[in-house]
Amino acid sequence: MFKIPFLDLPPLRSAGGTVRLPGSKSISNRVLLLAGLSEGVTEVHDLLDSDDTAVMLDSLKALGCRLETSDHGVLQVTGIGGQLKVDAAQLFLGNAGTAMRPLTAALALLAATQGGEFELSGVARMHERPIGDLVDALRLLGCKIDCLGQEGYPPLKLTGPSKLNLAQPVKVRGDVSSQFLTALLLALPLVATEQDVVIEVVGELISKPYIHITLELLKRFGIQVQREDWQRFTIPAGSRYRSPGAVHVEGDASSASYFVALGALAATEAPLRIEGVGSASLQGDVRFIEAAQAMGARVEAGPNWLEVRRGAWPLHGISLDCNHIPDAAMTLAVMALYADGPTTLTNIASWRVKETDRIAAMAAELRKLGATVEEGQDWLRVHPLLSWSAASIHTYDDHRIAMCFSLAAFNGLAAGKTSPAVPVRILEPHCVAKTFPDYFETLFEVSKARSKDIPVICIDGPTASGKGTLADEVAHALGYVVLDSGMLYRASGLAAQRAGVDLDDGQAVAAIAARLDLHFRKGRVTLGEVDITEALRLETTGLLASKVATHTEVRHALNQLQLDYRRLPGLVADGRDMGTAVFPDAGLKVFLTASAETRAQRRYKQLISKGISASIAGLRQDLEARDLQDKSRKASPLAPAADALALDNSALSIEESKDLVLAWWAKAGPFSDQR
């Protein structure tokens, strides 16, 4: 996950491969609550690992459930069997509506029947999300609920015991959020012990597919709810949660929408395969494929998979009532930019009370790209876009906005000759942790860009100037890939030496370098099956690198390997000729320097900290000798590129050097005035 202030997406051009979806958020949190309330142990397979499920898990643990994870990643939940194990708890639920709403209902009923005091709170945005309709329904039942801030909004205090009135139907509005009805359906079996409990929906029920998920999962846990149309639900007397033993969480259909759209936009040579949802999915958002097909996508589906490729191009503008796909419909708003006419999305009033006001947010961010957008209380109309602007997208701490607008990076597929492809900046990209922590990594795995469009920063300099540390810091700040070219030369020298090759024989060393079986995993480096991490750090290995780097044949052999590091979303390359020979088109070139005395002192501190004896004078002499060797070699002698910016870091900390490079980078790109 990219835990950085912003992530810049270069223009993307095509897509292909296979995506394995994370577990459904809606199913995951419903299953967790049902397992927590049930008798027995439930094995939960393929559970979503996200912020929303984390707060639910923390809450269940605080309420007395036992949670254990097997070596295979299967979660075992030992439920409380409908009997409170604690009489007080303070639960923090972040911005997870799928945790706040059902836990409110369940704990209100448990406190009423068994006594207790529970406080439920979340982040600031959660305290702006209405819960009054659910609170009103529970109060009419007899539950004691206090709103600790604004009436009708969290945080909440639930207390008991109190007498419940179950003889009359429980009435709840259905036109604001289906989560209110879901909360009641999940909780009321706790008190349907001696008589039927009836729920009546007031007004039109929105997001019916999410209620379908709830009903199907209740069946698996032994609760057979009787439904009359979508207006009346009866929970039969004698209901009791029973663990089904094992539950498999299917992939998230809402998350699938981004990749269905991606296939419709950019899968031109082969289909994009999406695994985890398909024709047998419980989730209503799988019907997003119908909307994508209406816009021109070609879709094939199996029980647990989808394959999508581009059909019509440009896409077709459509008008659609989105009541059945409220979350996934957001993706259509960005797809509309690539259409042949306007796209109108209606019946989306629920967007107003989600993680943010999504109608207002989508309209504002689409306009940043240059789009013409019209909006109403429950509708949005988006017009096609031909002239794109590089935009810095505010995500409002809303995972779906971040993921939707990543698709705008494919604007090069629609931009005309007079409107070049532009990058897109996603602010606070880590908000995707709510449902899909590895979303951007997954996107990059199945997307391709032109090599020239992938940004590169080169940091060259002499030995011990700190370029490797600086490159790591800059790359981490931007979310970019790192190329430590010195590591490749060190590995080549080490491999040649271990193979008994004469290091003065350039062709023989080049043959070794060309077939390096080098792997980087979790901070370790292996050559074939041998871990060479520590060996690469030795001073003697550094000398091997300087020796083999003098051979033109070796540099040619490693050139393509270095070029292959130019990967999405961008690259920071450090070495001695990155800006002059390997990436002459880099967007920023830095030549890092420090005095020989300063570099010797730094190296001395490193060696002493490792228990290796050394002298500053000797180290300085060695560094000056290596500088001379690097500057005088025939193959790519050490020298700054003509357009490199000089950075003498003799008196600068690594943090100060990093900030300076990032400031230069900001001036070099289209987002210098967008933060």
229 is known to lie in a ligand binding site: no
469 is known to lie in a ligand binding site: yes
381 is known to lie in a ligand binding site: no
207 is known to lie in a ligand binding site: yes
Q: How far apart are CA 495 and CA 500, in angstroms?
A: 9
400 is known to lie in a ligand binding site: yes
What is the pairing mode between strands 456-460 and 571-575?
parallel
461 is known to lie in a ligand binding site: yes
Q: How far apart are CA 283 and CA 252, in angstroms?
A: 8
Which residue matches tokens 């997001």?
A: 207
341 is known to lie in a ligand binding site: no
Continuous H helices in 392-438: 399-406
Nearest residue to 11 via CA among 523, 385, 437, 420: 420
319 is known to lie in a ligand binding site: no
Q: How far apart are CA 592 and CA 263, in angstroms?
A: 43
> Sign of dihedral through CA atoms 367, 369, 372, 373?
negative
Q: How far apart are CA 171 and CA 178, in angstroms?
A: 13
Is the CB of residue 256 less than 8 Å from the CB of residue 275? Answer: no
Q: Among the options 51, 327, 398, 577, which is catalytic?
A: 327
97 is known to lie in a ligand binding site: yes
One-letter amino acid of 621:
Q
Whether 8 is catalytic:
no
90 is known to lie in a ligand binding site: no
42 is known to lie in a ligand binding site: no
465 is known to lie in a ligand binding site: yes
Structure tokens that stand for 533 in this block: 């991490």
358 is known to lie in a ligand binding site: yes
> Quick one: which H or E segment has residue 457?
strand 456-460
20 is known to lie in a ligand binding site: no
SS3 of 313, please?
coil
Sheet of strand 571-575, all strands in order from the earlier edge strand to the far edge: 481-484, 571-575, 456-460, 588-593, 645-648
Is the CB of residue 200 less than 8 Å from the CB of residue 171? Answer: yes
Structure tokens that stand for 86 in this block: 């604690």
Is the CB of residue 116 less than 8 Å from the CB of residue 85? Answer: no
18 is known to lie in a ligand binding site: no
599 is known to lie in a ligand binding site: no
467 is known to lie in a ligand binding site: yes
Annotated binding-site positions for ATP: 461-469
What amino acid positions are annotated as catalytic residues? 327
Annotated binding-site positions for phosphoenolpyruvate: 25, 97, 129, 179, 358, 400, 434
Annotated binding-site positions for 3-phosphoshikimate: 25-26, 30, 177-179, 207, 327, 354
Annotated binding-site positions: 25-26, 30, 97, 129, 177-179, 207, 327, 354, 358, 400, 434, 461-469
